[in-house]
Chain A
Amino acid sequence: MHDAIAEYVRDGLSVAIEGFTAFICFAAGHEIIRQGRRNLTLIRMTPDLIYDQMIAAGVASKLVFSYLGNPGVGSLHCVRRAIEKGIPAPLEIEEYSHYGMIGRYTAGAMKLPFFPLRSYTGSDLPRMNRQISLVQSPYSEERIAVVPPINPDVAIIHAQRADAEGNTQLWGLLGIQKEAAFAARKVIVVVEEIVDQSIIRADPNRTLIPGLIVNAVVHEPFGCHPSYVQGYYDRDNAFYLAWDGISRDQQKTEDWLQEWVFDVKDRSAYLEKLGKDVLSRLDPGDAPTGSLNYGAYT
């Protein structure tokens, strides 16, 4: 992880750590904080706790998003403090709706000049964000909203497994990880398990991101804690609730960052500090898929 972040995430770049409200790679976010990056543009549909922590740590100067909350809990207090009071530093924001962000990633991935969607009519959002336009359809009388492509400098995607070349399989909420990866200039995948390529080839329908577009593969078990990874672990909801209290105060937040990010060397040290009891509490139990037959076709 250290090397992948050092190599690809440089000061001033735009970074999308994606995974819609699940598969959130906290390990990567913490490494970016530890390496002291500055002036990043952070892109994410749901900034979640990881961007709250990164913004409190001062790594970002701009945030591009579509829903700003501690999901199921309440506010993102650090992001709010940055927007409302400029603490620890002013934060420029650029906001869309969910489908607007999906459209931006999709256009970015497909190298299209814009993405049309039926949204924003009558909303104040286009007045506040001039990137959102209403244009005339060439084929009908309809005026339709368009959003521009987005091409993050770096996308970081967490998944269950990949082979050494980065052929990445993900099951569960597919979100916009494929679109974000194809839109990005560099792609880092972080996985719970590195598997032999024969495992990938045995179930090709499950491959979301091909090794073709991947620049680095990082093996980081529990890399999403306290977020969820389907079939591997549950959300550590106690932490999501606790963060609501911690994050209300900048000093408490900085103390937390010191203890859980700066004072731990890497993810292994973090997990050791967290303890086995917490991790076993997050075991999701079993719900295996039925097996199916692709056919040999020799």
Chain B
Amino acid sequence: MTPDYTSSEMMIVAASRTLRGARTVFVGVGLPNIACNLARHTIAPDLELIYESGVYGAQPARLPLSIGDPTLVTGALSVIPMGDLFGYYLQGGWVGAALLGGAQIDRHGNLNTTVIGEYDSPKVRLPGSGGACEIAINARSTLIIMRLSQRAFVERLDFLTSPGYLEGGTSRAGRYMPGAGPMQVITDKALFSFFNDDREMQIDALYPGVSIDEVTAEIGWPIRQHESIFEVDPPTDDEIRIIRTILDPEGTVTGRLA
């Protein structure tokens, strides 16, 4: 049976559910933006959205066109210089969770958003850090949202832009990195965590109708599996309704089933 939701909608729903009860979240535009707003409408009504452009407590009336969209300002609790945002809110320890993505991720949750190929002679020049490097270090925890693919889940990063668990194990400790690191990786097929001594990515859960082989085939190293992998609940009618009627009525980000 073909489910009546898209893989993007499943990703959004899965990401929003990880924010249950959260107080603050550092948000980007696109899919993470919809996930956080969905959480605000469902399981985290007290959630305040923080955008790196200097906005605390945003309630965007439309899907923001970019991180600089004035819709983030109108109706927000506070708008401040970016130095205050990164200094007081992020470095000051007030960001509970943050959503990050990247072109490449390795088994310890380190991210590359800088370059494919050599830095000095790039095959593909990517956007760079933006705020991701300091977010990865200072947010109390991070959630990584990426689509599964061999090109993205790699044995070795071409460039380490934003640190996850570095070399794994306790390698974040003693390096003055206040945040705990990545809690979860949310993909279009499965959920992963790092809850083991090596701080190595492991499959925790599969989306409905996805087989373990479909997941392992997209990962560039022998991926660990949790001893009891569970199946994620599909999106509820309520979650789908909020996404389609309130958050992304034109299907700009989520796409729609043909």
- List residues of A whose CB falls within 8 A of some B CB: 19-22, 46, 65-69, 71-72, 75, 79-80, 83-84, 95-100, 102, 106, 117-125, 128, 142-144, 172-176, 178-179, 227-228, 230-231, 234-235, 237, 240, 284, 287
Q: Given A102-B86, A119-B134, A175-B54, do A95 and B128 touch, yes or no (CB 8 Å)? A: yes
Q: What are 18 inter-chain pairs, A to B, with CB distance below 8 A?
A: A22-B68, A68-B125, A79-B125, A84-B125, A96-B129, A98-B52, A98-B130, A102-B82, A117-B86, A118-B134, A119-B137, A121-B163, A124-B160, A144-B176, A172-B79, A173-B53, A227-B68, A228-B69
Instruction: Given A21-B67, A72-B30, A98-B129, verify A175-B81 contact (CB < 8 Å).
Output: yes
Complex: A285 Cα to B73 Cα, angstroms: 14
Q: How far is the CA of A235 from the CA of B66 in the complex (A)?
A: 9
Q: In the assembled complex, how far is the CB of residue B227 from the closest CB belonging to chain A, in whole angstroms?
A: 30
Using CB atoms and an 8 Å cutoff, list the residues of chain B in contact with chain A: 29-30, 52-55, 64-70, 72-75, 79-83, 86-87, 90-91, 110, 114, 119, 122-134, 137-138, 159-163, 166, 172, 175-178
Whether the Cβ atoms of B176 and A118 lie closer than 8 Å is yes
Contact assessment for B69 and A235 in the assembled complex, using a CB-CB cutoff below 8 Å? yes
A234 and B134 contact, CB distance less than 8 A: no
Chain A residues, CB < 8 A from B91:
99, 117-118
Contact A174 B82 (CB under 8 A): yes
Whether A228 lies near B68 (C-beta < 8 A) is: yes
B165: nearest chain-A partner, CB-CB:
A122
* B91 to chain A: closest residue by CB: A118
Q: Chain B residue with minimal CB distance to A96?
A: B129
Which residue of A is nearest B178, CB measured?
A118
User: How far, in whole Å, are A50 and B45 apart by their CA atoms in the complex?
Assistant: 39
Measured CA separation A75–B113 after assembly (Å)? 12
Known: A99-B131, A118-B137. A71 touches B125 (CB 8 A): no
Distance between Cα atoms of A142 and B174 in the complex (Å): 9
User: Which residues of the partner chain A approach B86 to less than 8 Å between Cβ atoms?
Assistant: 98-99, 102, 117
A66 with B122: CB separation less than 8 A: no
Q: How many whole Å from A107's CB to the nearest CB in chain B?
A: 11
Selected from B79, B114, B133, B175, the residue in CB contact (under 8 A) with A174 is B79
Distance between A278 CB and nearest chain B CB, rounded to angstroms: 16
Given A83-B125, A144-B176, A173-B70, A67-B83 contact (CB < 8 Å): no
Complex formed: what's the CA distance from A148 to B161 in Å? 20
